[in-house]
Homo-oligomer: A and B are copies of this chain.
Amino acid sequence: MDVAEPRRPRVVIVGAGFGGLTVATKLAKADVDVTVLDRHNYHCFQPLLYQVATAELSPADIAWPIRHVLRRQKNVRVLLGTVDSIDLENRQVVADTVTLPYDELVLATGVTHSYFGNDEWEKWAPGLKRVEDATIIRRRLLIAFERAELSDDPAERERLLTFAIVGAGPTGVELAGSIIEVARHVMPNEFRHIDPRTARVILIEAGPRVLPAFPENLSAYTRESLERMGVEVMTSTRVTNCDETGVDLEGGRLEAATVIWAAGVVASEAGRWIGAQCDNAGRVIVNKDLSVPGRQEVFVIGDTASVKREDGSPVPGVAPAAKQMGAYVADVIASRARGAVPPPPFKYRHQGDIATIGRRSAVLKLGYMNLTGLIAWLFWCVAHIYFLIGARNRIAVAFKWVWDFATFQRGARLITDQRDQI
């Protein structure tokens, strides 16, 4: 490395989600050396995590080794490690496994679930952001049915067969729809003592309607669809406490063995690492070129960045936004590397909103077009297969969806960890 020719700029990307991975791939032809650091060895396709949590897919179906994705890109190396701190003065990232000097730094470390100051609730109401979260939720879901089959106490059986989902954004809606399908279509005939169809799935939302980011008519359609499927939808209802046996709501108590938290997110620690100014959700407030004020060599992108649209509303925390920011920052870095004029300020292009409700049912807003039902659902299926990484996963997931759609099965119903065991 220590040859006389001028050193190539060292770009360090922390986090290989949608944003970080896009930066790396878009820098393929730039004259820079890229290091991708992640605490996991895989990129996880988060939009389908709820299908791992509800026993439809295996973790490996939606996760792919980062180094495999980037294997052909000779200017990239991939390292496993967790950031301890960032030394802005000396320009280096200090991780548990390695210290990485940088010339350009991209922080793309995403979000985690937020309990609004009640972190102790996490134990009773896990959220869904990582592969581990999904297998924890899958285990709780499946063990609840097993315990109910073993119980002779009607009240306890009812509690075990009550599933509460807090938060009715796309993840909450998808979980509720998927869990009621497990109870009504997958489990029946397999139990002798309980009737899984009697399970209650309750979707709790503090705001006045489900899918608050969607147009009102799509929210209304979604609520109706969920209720037709058997989900109980409670809007304008705030959770005041979570404990071992259930949740306290503003209106009263709900005994529920399984509670899943889909209510809110808080940004990763990136803002703290760099001592930057953050918004209420911990997102770093960035310049128009997504760099950090006063540190033009440090960029924050994706869910960790607080970015405004032209109309002043915030850019939403969705995969397309992270990818757009990643592509933009790669452009800025590549321009700098070749001494070219930097691109104009980042501009977010909203592509649309989509959420799936259940078999043959989804809602889709694409520009001025609102779609519901089967057509939206088919669009959702095709789009998600398309965005998966790797032909092997695309084929495997498509096969499992077709098979399980036809047979009402779920293929990954394993309770695989002892820690939480019955």
Question: Which of A's residues lie within 8 Å of B, judged by CB?
Answer: 39-42, 58-61, 63, 65, 67-68, 71-72, 77-81, 96-98, 131-132, 135, 142-143, 146-147, 149-150, 189-193, 392-393, 395-396, 399-400, 403-404, 407, 409, 411-418, 421-422
Contact = CB atoms under 8 A, between A and B. Distances in A.
Nearest to A407: B392
Contacts of A411: 60, 392-393, 396
Contacts of A60: 58, 411-414
How many copies of this chain does one complex carry?
A: 2
Contacts of A399: 395-396, 399
Contacts of A147: 80, 97
A72 B189 CA distance: 7
A97 B150 contact: yes
A135 B416 contact: yes
A201 to B, nearest CB: 20
A407 B392 CA distance: 10
Most chain B CB neighbours (cut-off 10 Å) among A131, A132, A395, A416? A416
A21 to B, nearest CB: 15
A228 B308 CA distance: 61
Most chain B CB neighbours (cut-off 10 Å) among A41, A61, A97, A395? A41
Given A149-B79, A192-B77, A193-B77, A413 B59 contact: no
A40 to B, nearest CB: 7
Contacts of A58: 58-61, 412
A95 to B, nearest CB: 9
A264 to B, nearest CB: 23
A71 B422 contact: no
A414 B81 contact: no
Nearest to A134: B416
A280 to B, nearest CB: 29
Given A396-B400, A400-B396, A422 B81 contact: yes
B190 A132 contact: no
Contacts of A417: 132
A131 B421 CA distance: 14
B409 A400 contact: no
28 contacts: A40-B415, A41-B413, A41-B415, A42-B415, A58-B61, A58-B412, A59-B414, A60-B414, A68-B190, A68-B413, A71-B189, A71-B190, A72-B189, A77-B192, A78-B190, A79-B150, A80-B143, A80-B415, A80-B422, A81-B150, A97-B422, A131-B414, A135-B416, A392-B403, A395-B399, A395-B403, A396-B400, A396-B411
A118 B417 CA distance: 25
A417 to B, nearest CB: 7
A138 to B, nearest CB: 10
Nearest to A146: B80
A65 B141 CA distance: 14
A251 B191 CA distance: 56
Contacts of A418: 132
A132 to B, nearest CB: 7
Contacts of A65: 190, 413-414
